[in-house]
Amino acid sequence: MGEETDSPPPILGTWRRFYFVVVVNTLLVYGLLLLFSRFAR
């Protein structure tokens, strides 16, 4: 219990790739919100 295993999620292979996906997803969310803001103006 509580062991210090630090295996990255199997789907992406490394933590660095996982973080990259989170950051890209965040930028995408900003973009979608900007589009929403402009569309519904």
Site track for other proteins across 8-37, x = CB under 8 A: xx-----x--xx--xx-xx--xx--xx-xx
Q: How far is the C-alpha of 29 from the C-alpha of 37, rounded, in Å?
A: 12
Q: Please report how close the Cβ of residue 25 comes to other proteins at its closest, in angstroms.
A: 6
Instruction: Count the site residues for other proteins by CB under 8 A.
Output: 25
Structural tokens at position 27: 């930028």
Q: Any idea which residue has 């589009």 for tokens?
A: 35
Residue type, 33: L
Q: Where do contacts with other proteins occur on this chain (CB under 8 A)? A: 1-9, 15, 18-19, 22-23, 25-26, 29-30, 33-34, 36-37, 39-41
